[in-house]
Amino acid sequence: MMTTSGKISCSALILLGICGVSIIVGTYFANRFFTDRAVDFKNIEEHFKYGSLGGERNLGIPYWLWQSVPLLCPELLPQKQPDDVGFESIGMLYEPGNSLPVGVSKRRHLGLDRVFFNCAVCHTSTVRESASAKPTLVLGMPANRFRLMQFEKIFFGCMANQKFNRANILPLVQSLGANLDIIDRYLVYPIAIWLTQERLALLESRLSFYQHQPEWGPGRVDTFNAAKAVFNWDWKRAHPEEMIGTADFPSIWNQGQRKVRDDSKPMELHWDGNNDTVEERNLSAAFGAGATPTNIDHAALSRIENWLLSLPAPSYPFAIDQTLAEQGKPLYSEYCASCHGKSGNDFTGQYVGHVQPIDDIATDRWRLDSYTRELAQNQGTLYSTREQHRFKRFRKTHGYANMPLDGLWLRAPYLHNGSVPTLRDLLKPAAERPVRFYRGNDIFDQQNFGFVSKQQHAYARPLFLFDTRIEGNGNQGHEGEKYGTLLSSAQKNALIEYLKTF
């Protein structure tokens, strides 16, 4: 006969067992669904290429959904080739052994491996000496092959497609090696598919300005119209002159030297000089990688910031006629140094880092006009609850900033909107510059100083035909005697040769 104490002991054991199981189950689900862990890279170059900035927490696309899109919606990828494994056709760069392209990071978050952009997607590209040469990956240069607008259209289009559903996706990702368990198949991925569609539909509505713009082409972005999406901009009421702000991705070397100019003040940054603080500029740029005030990984961003302070621009790797370059040095000093610095390493100059009035430089003004006073005011509210991170230096300007020319050879096409293919073309009056040329090549034109722009194909894919007659693409300005366009052919040859030393 069981005693009372025996009954109590038995009940206690059962209760203890239930508690134990609950703890184990709770711990399992907590570890599975509340883990927030980015893939970590000790090497700073690898961190730059693949490290997280926190954007996966907000706009992260489940890893296996990312991998499924090129196979599920191949009709949306232009010039897709049979051996493509991802987004090569829009200029994303894949290194051997990596399933994700350069500029895409991975983070375990909410029970899923999620991926999104980091800095390198806009600031890494390749360069070749010839079509038969192996491409060299260059960190910090403009991503002149990446078609960001096309990427957006692919994901928005595929997620809205009727075939983007559980019945099609689950077998596809399993075939790709996903090895989904029962919780993934019946809970995690059905919810993830729905949430991804909902989030991208909302993002597309906020970025609807791009639907009314000309194709950007590779190497370009409309930075500040995209920033307006953070404030739920009413595009129907926007002024027509602010609707196109497309400009080239910039290079990002030698950031430490951009913290001060000749008058001891900071250089004015961005194409239009709308901010003069490197840290604020970097924080603003992180928005493009999906990092918002509530989810940005400040430690990860700081690693990149500190590295970029002294990251040098790569030296020109091809032959330089030193005698001719010496002849070009005084020409550079006379016509260029006051606005662009004494050399590719010395950024001192009376007007370096200052905004040049648009009436003076006379280049295409669409990018300038797209950044409005209202946006500058709104940006000051983004970090209003975090004083140490609050934007304080954004402002509306009246022109474009004079920039140092470090790594100039890797920054073609030229002008803020990439409307002039080579430096030789930039030294011509605007009426003599190419009206149309091809963008997206990584073969360097050593004669004309820029990327090859007359070939229609690269890597067996059609290149983008850029038309300077389209709004936002104008190639006018930066011309006249003080800009060197009236120099003789011999003088221009010497000047170009000297600029190879940058």
Torsion sign across C-alpha atoms 196, 59, 384, 370: negative
Mean pLDDT across 228-250: 88
Mean pLDDT across 293-319: 92
Determine the Cα–Cα distance for residues 453 and 467; give it in Å rounded to an integer: 12
Contacts for 398 with CB less than 8 Å, ≥ 6 apart = 355, 357, 358, 368
Contacts for 453 with CB less than 8 Å, ≥ 6 apart = 413, 421, 422, 434, 437, 438, 439, 441, 445
Determine the Cα–Cα distance for residues 128 and 135; give it in Å rounded to an integer: 5
Q: With CA atoms as reference, report the closest residue to 295 among 376, 189, 383.
A: 383
Mean pLDDT across 13-25: 70
Q: What is the pLDDT of residue 123?
A: 98
Q: With CA atoms as reference, report the closest residue to 189 among 117, 111, 115.
A: 111
For residue 211, is pLDDT > 90? Answer: no
Q: With CA atoms as reference, report the closest residue to 284 among 193, 380, 353.
A: 380
Tokens of 281: 């500029």
Mean pLDDT across 246-250: 97
Mean pLDDT across 425-445: 98
Q: With CA atoms as reference, report the closest residue to 361 among 252, 271, 450.
A: 271
- Please, are residues 26 and 76 in contact by the beta-carbon 8 Å criterion? no
- Please, are residues 116 and 56 in contact by the beta-carbon 8 Å criterion? yes
> Minimum mean pLDDT among 133-142, 387-396, 478-487: which range?
387-396
Determine the Cα–Cα distance for residues 406 and 340; give it in Å rounded to an integer: 9
Mean pLDDT across 322-335: 98
Mean pLDDT across 184-195: 93
Determine the Cα–Cα distance for residues 441 and 278; give it in Å rounded to an integer: 30
Q: With CA atoms as reference, report the closest residue to 410 among 463, 459, 451.
A: 451
For residue 386, is pLDDT > 80? Answer: no
Contacts for 85 with CB less than 8 Å, ≥ 6 apart = 70, 94, 99
For residue 47, is pLDDT > 80? Answer: yes
Mean pLDDT across 258-267: 95
Separation of CA 404 from chain center = 20
Mean pLDDT of the chain: 92
Determine the Cα–Cα distance for residues 407 and 312; give it in Å rounded to an integer: 8
pLDDT band at 6 (very low <50, low <70, confident <90, very high): low
pLDDT band at 36 (very low <50, low <70, confident <90, very high): confident
pLDDT band at 235 (very low <50, low <70, confident <90, very high): confident
Mean pLDDT across 8-32: 69
For residue 481, is pLDDT > 90? Answer: yes
Strand partners for 451: 444
Contacts for 157 with CB less than 8 Å, ≥ 6 apart = 73, 76
For residue 29, is pLDDT > 70? Answer: no
Determine the Cα–Cα distance for residues 301 and 65; give it in Å rounded to an integer: 26
Q: What is the pLDDT of residue 210?
A: 86
Q: What is the pLDDT of residue 254?
A: 97
Q: What is the pLDDT of residue 238?
A: 84
Instruction: Please report which residue ranges of 51-122 form alpha helices under DSSP H.
Output: 56-59, 63-72
- Please, are residues 80 and 90 in contact by the beta-carbon 8 Å criterion? no
The SS3 call for residue 458 is strand
Q: How many residues does the chain have?
A: 502
pLDDT band at 401 (very low <50, low <70, confident <90, very high): very high
**Which residue ranges make up each domain of the chain?**
27-119+148-215
For residue 286, is pLDDT > 90? Answer: no
For residue 440, is pLDDT > 90? Answer: yes
Q: What is the pLDDT of residue 93?
A: 98
**Neighbour-count burial of 394, counting CB atoms closer than 10 A to its CB (0-12 exposed, 13-18 middle, 19+ buried):** buried
Determine the Cα–Cα distance for residues 189 and 114; give it in Å rounded to an integer: 12
Mean pLDDT across 381-398: 79
Could you give the percent of the chain with pLDDT greater than 70? 94
Phi, psi of 457 (to 5 degrees): -135, 155
Residue 185 DSSP one-character state:
I
The SS3 call for residue 261 is coil
Long-range own/partner contacts, residues 373-381 (CB < 8 A, 24 or more apart) = 375/224, 375/227, 375/228, 375/231, 376/274, 378/231, 379/227, 379/284
**Neighbour-count burial of 162, counting CB atoms closer than 10 A to its CB (0-12 exposed, 13-18 middle, 19+ buried):** exposed
Q: What is the pLDDT of residue 227?
A: 86
Condensed to tens digits (0 to 9), the pLDDT of residues 53-105 reads 998 988 899 999 999 999 999 999 988 888 888 999 999 999 999 999 999 99
| pTM of the shown model | 0.91
Cis peptide bond prior to 413, omega within 30° of 0: yes
For residue 388, is pLDDT > 80? Answer: no
Q: What is the pLDDT of residue 25?
A: 60
Q: Amino acid identity of 262? A: D
Kindly provide the b/e burial profile for residues 209-231, where b requires at least 16 CB atoms within 10 angstroms of the residue's own CB.
Answer: bbeebebbbbbbbbbbbbbbbbe
Tokens of 130: 């010839």
Using CA atoms of 480, 485, 487, 490 in order, give the dihedral in degrees to the nearest 10.
180
Q: With CA atoms as reference, report the closest residue to 294 among 7, 54, 2.
A: 54
